[in-house]
Amino acid sequence: MQRIGTGLLLVACALLSACAEAPSDAIRMGVASAPITLDPRYATDATSARLNRLLYAQLVDFDASARPVAALAQWQQLAPTRYRFRLDPARASFHDGSALTAADVKATYDSVRDPTNDSPHRSSLEMIERIVVIDEHTVDFELSRPDPLFPGYLVIGVLPRKGIEAGHPFDRRPWGSGAFELAAWPVEGLLRLERRADGQLFEFLHVSDSTVRVLKLLRGELDLVQNDLPPELVRYLERQPHIDVRHREGGNFSYVGFNLEDPILADLRVRRAIAHAIDRRVIAWHLLGGETRLAAGLLPPEHWAGVDFDAYRYDPARARSLLAEAGYGAGSPLRLNYRTTSDPLRLRIATVIQRQLHDVGIQVELSSFDWATFYADIKAGRFQLYSLSWVGIKSPDIFRYVFHSTSVPPAGANRGRFQDALVDGLIEAAETAQEPARRARLYQELQKRLLETLPFVPLWYEGQFVAARTDIHGYELSADGDYDSLAQVQRRPAGVREARFAP
Amino acid sequence: MIQFLVSRLLSALVVVFGVVCLVFLLLHLVPGDPVDMMLGESARPADRAALREALGLDRPLLVQLGEYLGGLAQLDLGTSFHSRRPITDMLLERLPATIELAVAGLLVAVLIAFPLGALAAVRKDTPWDQGAMTFSLIGVSVPNFWLGPVLILVFSLWLGWFPVSGRDGIVSLILPAITLGTALAAVLSRMVRSTLLEVLSEDYIRTARAKGLSERQVVIHHGLRNALLPVITLLGLQLGTLLGGAVITETVFSWPGVGKLTVDAILRRDYPVVQASVLLISVTYVVVNVLTDLVYAWVDPRIREARA
Amino acid sequence: MRRAAVPAVILALWLCMALAAPWLPLQPEHISLPDILALPSGEAWLGSDDLGRPILDRLIMGAATSFHVAVWVVLISALVGSLIGTVSAYWGGITDLVIVRVIDIFLAFPGILLAIALAGIMGPGIGNVVVALSVVGWVGFARLARAQVLSLKHRDHVTAAVALGCPSTRIVLRHLVPLIGAPLIVEATFGIAAVVIAEAGLSFLGLGVQPPQASWGNMIRDGARYMLVAPHMVLAPGAALMLVVLAVNLLGDRLRDRLDVRSRVRP
> ipTM of this model?
0.83
> How close B14 gets to chain A, by Cα (Å)?
32
Alpha carbon of A429 to those of A397, A400, A422, A426, C182: distances in Å?
12, 11, 10, 5, 80
Q: What percent of chain B has pLDDT over 90?
A: 12
Rounded Cα distance, A69 and C175, in Å = 87
Determine, for residues A1 and B156 on separate chains, whether the beta-carbon distance falls below 8 Å. Answer: no
Confidence band, pLDDT 50/70/90 cuts, at residue A20: very low
C45 within domain boundaries = no
pLDDT at site A275: 95
> Taking CB atoms and an 8 Å cutoff, what residues of chain C touch A368?
124, 210-211
**pLDDT higher at A23 or B156:** B156
pLDDT at site A18: 42
> How close C71 gets to chain B, by Cα (Å)?
18
Determine, for residues C230 and A286 on separate chains, whether the beta-carbon distance falls below 8 Å. Answer: no
Strands A464-469 and A224-226, bridge-based pairing: antiparallel
pLDDT at site B204: 74
Domain count of chain C? 1
Q: Average pLDDT in the A433-442 region?
A: 90
Closest residue in A to C209 (Cα–Cα)? A368
Task: Please name which of A156, A212, A124, A165 lies closest in space to residue A37, comparing C-alpha atoms.
Answer: A156
- Beta-ladder partners of B116: none
Q: Average pLDDT in the C91-102 region?
A: 88
CA atoms within 13 A on the CB side of C216: 33
Tell me the one-letter amino acid at C147. A
Q: What percent of chain A has pLDDT over 70?
A: 93
pLDDT at site B27: 63
pLDDT at site B105: 92
Determine, for residues C101 and B14 on separate chains, whether the beta-carbon distance falls below 8 Å. Answer: yes
Question: Which of A16, A122, A189 is nearest residue B256 as measured by Cβ atoms?
Answer: A189
Question: Which of A42, A187, A371 is nearest residue B37 as measured by Cβ atoms?
Answer: A371
Scored b (16 or more CB within 10 A) or e, B116-132 reads: bbbbbbbeeeeeebeeb
- What is chain A's mean pLDDT, rounded? 88
Give the residue numbers spanning the domain of C224.
Answer: 2-20+53-259
Cβ atoms of A138 and A105 closer than 8 Å: no
Determine, for residues A370 and C206 on separate chains, whether the beta-carbon distance falls below 8 Å. Answer: yes
pLDDT at site A1: 53
Cβ atoms of A184 and B128 closer than 8 Å: no
- The alpha-helical segments, DSSP class H, found in C22-165 are 55-91, 93-107, 111-122, 126-152, 156-163
Confidence band, pLDDT 50/70/90 cuts, at residue A132: very high
Task: Give the DSSP letter of residue B166.
Answer: S
Closest residue in B to A397 (Cα–Cα)? B42
pLDDT tens, position by position, A245-300: 999 998 889 999 999 999 999 999 999 999 999 999 999 989 997 789 999 889 99
Q: What percent of chain C has pLDDT over 70?
A: 95
pLDDT at site A191: 94
Question: Where does residue C221 rank: exposed (0-12), middle (13-18), buried (19+ CB within 10 A)?
Answer: buried
Rounded Cα distance, B133 and C113, in Å = 28
pLDDT at site A485: 94
Query: With left for phi above 0 and alpha for psi between -120 and 50, is residue A392 left, alpha or beta?
Result: left
Task: Give the DSSP letter of residue A100.
Answer: P
Question: Which of C36, C50, C211 is nearest residue A368 as measured by Cβ atoms?
Answer: C211
Whether residue A337 lies within 8 A of chain C, CB to CB, comes out as no
Question: Which of A11, A36, A187 is nearest residue B83 as measured by Cβ atoms?
Answer: A36
Determine, for residues C205 and B157 on separate chains, whether the beta-carbon distance falls below 8 Å. Answer: no
- What is chain C's mean pLDDT, rounded? 85
Q: List the single best residue of B137, B145, B153, B278 to mutate versus C (max C Cβ within 10 A).
A: B145
pLDDT at site A498: 41
Determine, for residues A209 and B166 on separate chains, whether the beta-carbon distance falls below 8 Å. Answer: no
- Record: fold of A253-461: Dipeptide-binding Protein; domain 3 (3.10.105)
> How close A355 gets to chain C, by Cα (Å)?
7
Residue C192 has pLDDT above 90, yes or no: yes
pLDDT at site A378: 86
> How close C123 gets to chain A, by Cα (Å)?
8
Strand, coil or helix: A71? coil
Q: Average pLDDT in the C178-187 region?
A: 82
> Taking CB atoms and an 8 Å cutoff, what residues of chain C touch A209?
224-225
Strand, coil or helix: A69? strand
Tell me the one-letter amino acid at A50. R
Q: List the single best residue of B29, B33, B37, B42 to mutate versus A (max A Cβ within 10 A).
A: B42
Q: List the single best residue of B146, B147, B281 to mutate versus C (max C Cβ within 10 A).
A: B146
Residue A5 has pLDDT above 90, yes or no: no
Question: Where does residue A498 rank: exposed (0-12), middle (13-18), buried (19+ CB within 10 A)?
Answer: exposed
C31 within domain boundaries = no
- CATH number, domain containing residue C222: 1.10.3720.10
Cβ atoms of A467 and A213 closer than 8 Å: no
C214 within domain boundaries = yes
Tell me the one-letter amino acid at A240. Q
Size of interface A-C (CB pairs under 8 A): 60
Least confident span in A118-127, A196-205, B299-308, C120-129: B299-308
pLDDT at site A114: 92
Determine, for residues C245 and B267 on separate chains, whether the beta-carbon distance falls below 8 Å. Answer: no
Q: List the single best residue of C37, C229, C233, C234 to mutate versus A (max A Cβ within 10 A).
A: C229
Task: Give the DSSP letter of residue A58.
Answer: B
Q: Average pLDDT in the B160-185 region?
A: 87
Question: Which of B11, B140, B244 is nearest residue C110 as measured by Cβ atoms?
Answer: B244
> Taking CB atoms and an 8 Å cutoff, what residues of chain A touch B268?
370-372
Determine, for residues C229 and A348 on separate chains, whether the beta-carbon distance falls below 8 Å. Answer: no
Closest residue in C to A366 (Cα–Cα)? C212
Question: Which of B33, B39, B267 is nearest residue A376 as measured by Cβ atoms?
Answer: B33
Confidence band, pLDDT 50/70/90 cuts, at residue B299: low
Q: Average pLDDT in the A415-426 region?
A: 93
Determine, for residues B39 and A37 on separate chains, whether the beta-carbon distance falls below 8 Å. Answer: no
Q: E strands, A160-272, where?
A: 180-187, 190-195, 201-206, 224-226, 243-248, 253-258
CA atoms within 13 A on the CB side of A432: 6
CATH superfamily, domain A2-37+176-249+463-491, is: Periplasmic binding protein-like II (3.40.190.10)
pLDDT at site A494: 61
- Beta-ladder partners of C48: C54
Q: Average pLDDT in the A151-155 region?
A: 92
pLDDT tens, position by position, B209-251: 788 777 777 777 777 667 777 777 777 777 777 888 888 999 8
pLDDT tens, position by position, C41-62: 888 888 999 999 999 999 999 9
Highest averaged pLDDT of the listed ranges A82-86, B234-238, C24-28: A82-86
> How close A92 gets to chain B, by Cα (Å)?
29
C213 within domain boundaries = yes
- Greatest CA span in chain A, whole angstroms? 85
- Beta-ladder partners of A130: A142
> How close A218 gets to chain B, by Cα (Å)?
9
Strand, coil or helix: B284? helix
> Taking CB atoms and an 8 Å cutoff, what residues of chain B touch C206?
267
Cβ atoms of A74 and A138 closer than 8 Å: no
Q: What percent of chain A has pLDDT over 90?
A: 64
**pLDDT higher at B120 or B49:** B120
- pTM reported for the whole predicted model: 0.79
Task: Please name which of B165, B308, B176, B154 lies closest in space to residue B242, comparing C-alpha atoms.
Answer: B176
Strands A490-491 and A385-390, bridge-based pairing: unpaired
Q: Which of residues 206-225 of A touch C (CB under 8 A)?
A: 209-211, 214-215
> Taking CB atoms and an 8 Å cutoff, what residues of chain A touch C212?
347, 351, 354, 366
Confidence band, pLDDT 50/70/90 cuts, at residue A351: very high
Determine, for residues B145 and C200 on separate chains, whether the beta-carbon distance falls below 8 Å. Answer: yes
pLDDT tens, position by position, B93-115: 889 999 999 989 989 998 999 88
| Ordered strands of the A224-226 beta sheet | A180-187, A190-195, A201-206, A27-31, A224-226, A464-469, A243-248
Rounded Cα distance, C44 and C244, in Å = 22
- What is chain B's mean pLDDT, rounded? 79
> How close B85 gets to chain A, by Cα (Å)?
9
- Beta-ladder partners of A339: A367, A386
A20 sits in which H/E element: none
pLDDT tens, position by position, A290-339: 789 999 889 999 999 988 887 789 999 999 999 999 999 888 889 999 99
pLDDT at site C267: 43
Rounded Cα distance, B199 and C109, in Å = 32
> How close B115 gets to chain A, by Cα (Å)?
14
Least confident span in A463-472, A491-500, B12-21, B278-287: A491-500
Q: Average pLDDT in the A469-480 region?
A: 91
- Beta-ladder partners of C73: none
Q: List the single best residue of C109, C227, C249 to mutate versus B (max B Cβ within 10 A).
A: C109
pLDDT at site B137: 87
Size of interface B-C (CB pairs under 8 A): 127
> Taking CB atoms and an 8 Å cutoff, what residues of chain A touch C47?
none
**pLDDT higher at C177 or C241:** C241
Rounded to the nearest 10 degrees, how much is the dihedral formed by the CA atoms of B295, B300, B302, B304? 30
Cβ atoms of A40 and A56 closer than 8 Å: yes
Q: Average pLDDT in the C246-262 region?
A: 80
> Taking CB atoms and an 8 Å cutoff, what residues of chain A touch C29?
355
- Record: fold of A54-165: Dipeptide-binding Protein; domain 1 (3.90.76)
Question: Which of C120, C201, C224 is nearest residue B149 as measured by Cβ atoms?
Answer: C224
pLDDT tens, position by position, A202-246: 999 988 778 888 988 988 889 999 998 999 999 999 999 999 999
Q: Average pLDDT in the B271-298 region?
A: 81
Residue A17 has pLDDT above 50, yes or no: no
The domain limits of chain A are 2-37+176-249+463-491, 54-165, 253-461
Rounded Cα distance, A336 and A348, in Å = 18
Closest residue in A to C51 (Cα–Cα)? A348
Q: How far is CA B270 from the centre of its chain?
A: 22
C148 within domain boundaries = yes
Task: Please name which of B35, B177, B164 lies closest in space to residue B101, comparing C-alpha atoms.
Answer: B177
Strand, coil or helix: B256? coil
**pLDDT higher at A45 or A70:** A70
- The alpha-helical segments, DSSP class H, found in chain B are 2-27, 34-39, 45-54, 61-73, 87-122, 127-141, 144-151, 171-200, 203-210, 215-217, 225-237, 239-253, 258-268, 271-299, 301-307
Question: Which of C108, C204, C246 is nearest residue B19 as measured by Cβ atoms?
Answer: C108
Task: Please name which of B98, B91, B167 lies closest in space to residue A21, comparing C-alpha atoms.
Answer: B167
C42 within domain boundaries = no
Rounded Cα distance, C128 and A343, in Å = 20
pLDDT at site A450: 93
Q: List the single best residue of A234, A340, A342, A345 to mutate versus C (max C Cβ within 10 A).
A: A342
Rounded Cα distance, C79 and C99, in Å = 16
**pLDDT higher at A483 or B76:** A483
Query: With left for phi above 0 and alpha for psi between -120 and 50, is residue A173 left, alpha or beta?
Result: beta
Q: Average pLDDT in the A102-120 region?
A: 91
Residue A265, phi then psi, degrees to nearest 5: -85, -10
Determine, for residues A286 and C227 on separate chains, whether the beta-carbon distance falls below 8 Å. Answer: no
Whether residue B30 lies within 8 A of chain C, CB to CB, comes out as yes
Cα angle vertex C67, ends C66, C71, to 5°?
115
What is the Cα gyration radius of chain A?
25
